[in-house]
Amino acid sequence: MKRVYFDHSATTPVDSEVAKLILEYMTDKFGNPSSIHSFGREVRKSVEEARDKVAALIGAQAKEIFFTSGGTEADNWALKGIAAANRKKGNHIITSSIEHHAILHTCEYLEKQGFSVTYLPVDENARVNVEDVKKAITDQTILISVMFANNEVGTIQPIKEIGKIAKEKGIYFHTDAVQAVGHYPIDVNEYNIDLLTLAGHKFYGPKGVGALYIRRGVKITSFQQGGAQERTMRAGTENVPGIVGLGKAAEIAKLNMEKEIAHVRTLKNKLIKGITEKIPDIKLNGHPELRMPGNVNFSFLYVEGESLLLNLDLKGIAASSGSACTSGSLDPSHVLLSMGLTHEVAHGSLRLSLGRGNTEEEIDYCLEVLPEIVARLRSMSPLGAG
Partner 1 sequence: MYTDKVMDHFTNPRNVGEIKNASGIGEVGNAKCGDIMRIYLDVEDDIIKDVKFKTFGCGAAIATSSMVTELVKGKTLDEALKISNEAVAEALDGLPPAKMHCSNLAADALHEAIKDYMQKKGK
Ligand X SMILES: Cc1ncc(COP(=O)(O)O)c(C=O)c1O
In the complex, the smallest distance separating the C-beta of residue 285 from partner 1, rounded to whole angstroms, is: 16
Greatest alpha-carbon pair distance for the chain in Å reads 73
Phi and psi, residue 272, nearest 5°: -65, -45
Q: Which of 54, 65, 143, 147 binds ligand X (CB under 6 A)?
A: 147
172-191 binders of ligand X (CB under 6 A): 176, 178-179
Within 10 A of 377 (CB to CB), how many other CB atoms are there? 18
Rule CB under 6 A: choose which of 93, 102, 324, 366 binds ligand FES: 324
Over the window 80 to 109, marking each residue x when it contacts ligand FES by CB under 6 A and - when it does not, the resulting string is ------------------------------
Of the residues 325, 337, 367, 369, which is catalytic?
325
Residue 60: how many CA atoms within 13 Å on its side-chain side?
30
x/- track of binding to ligand FES for residues 153-192 (CB under 6 A): ----------------------------------------
The site partner of 375 among ligand FES, ligand X, partner 1, none (C-beta below 5 to 8 Å per kind) is none
Examine residue 349 and tell whether it contacts ligand X (CB under 6 A): no
Please confirm, yes or no, whether 325 is among the known catalytic residues: yes
Angle of CA points 260, 186, 337, to nearest 5°:
85
* CB-nearer residue toward ligand FES: 142 or 324: 324
Specify the DSSP element, H or E, that contains 284. Answer: strand 282-284
337 binds ligand FES (CB under 6 A): no
Tell me the per-residue interface mask from 94 to 133 with ligand X, x by CB under 6 A, - otherwise.
Answer: ------x-x-------------------------------
Out of ligand FES, ligand X, a copy of itself, none, what residue 176 binds, judged by CB under 5 to 8 A for its kind, is ligand X
How far apart, in whole angstroms, are the C-alpha atoms of residue 313 and residue 128? 34
Three-class secondary structure of residue 39 per DSSP: helix
- CB under 5 to 8 A by kind: which of partner 1, a copy of itself, ligand X, none does 240 bind? a copy of itself
**Closer of 257 and 325 to ligand FES (Cβ):** 325
Report in angstroms the alpha-carbon separations of 146 from 21, 42, 67, 99: 34, 38, 21, 7
Q: Residue 380 and residue 378: Cα distance in Å, rounded?
A: 5
- Minimum distance from CB of 34 to ligand FES (Å)? 16
> Shortest distance, CB of residue 139 to ligand X, whole angstroms?
29
Burial category of 232 from C-beta neighbours within 10 Å (exposed 0-12, middle 13-18, buried 19 and up): exposed
Q: Which of 96, 304, 309, 366: binder of ligand FES (CB under 6 A)?
A: 304
136 binds ligand FES (CB under 6 A): no
Phi then psi for residue 278, to 5 deg, are -95, -25
CA 229, CA 215: separation in Å to the nearest integer? 18
Q: Counting contacts by CB under 6 A, is residue 56 touching ligand FES? A: no
Among residues 246, 267, 256, the alpha carbon closest in space to that of 14 is found at 246
155 binds, among ligand X, ligand FES, partner 1, none (CB under 5 to 8 A by kind): none
Parallel, antiparallel or unpaired: strands 141-145 and 92-96: parallel
Residue closer to ligand X (CB basis): 230 or 304 = 230
Nearer to ligand X, 19 or 137 (CB): 19
Strands 210-214 and 65-68: antiparallel
Q: Nearest approach, Cβ of 48 to partner 1 (angstroms)?
A: 12
Torsion of CA 217, 223, 227, 230, to 10 degrees: -40
Ranges within 195-224 binding ligand X (CB under 6 A): 199, 201, 210
Report long-range pairs for 29-35 (Cβ below 8 Å, ≥24 apart): 29/240, 30/240, 31/240, 32/237, 32/238, 32/240, 33/229, 33/237, 33/238, 33/240, 34/227, 34/228, 34/229, 34/237
Would you give the DSSP letter of residue 171?
A: -
Applying CB under 8 A, which residues contact partner 1?
Answer: 36, 41, 302-307, 310-311, 314, 323-326, 328, 330-332, 342-344, 347, 379-383, 386
Residue closer to ligand X (CB basis): 72 or 155: 72
- Contact positions toward ligand FES, by CB under 6 A? 304, 324-325
Binding footprint of ligand X on the chain (CB under 6 A) = 70-72, 75, 100, 102, 147, 151, 176, 178-179, 199, 201, 210, 236-237
Q: Which residues belong to the active site? A: 325
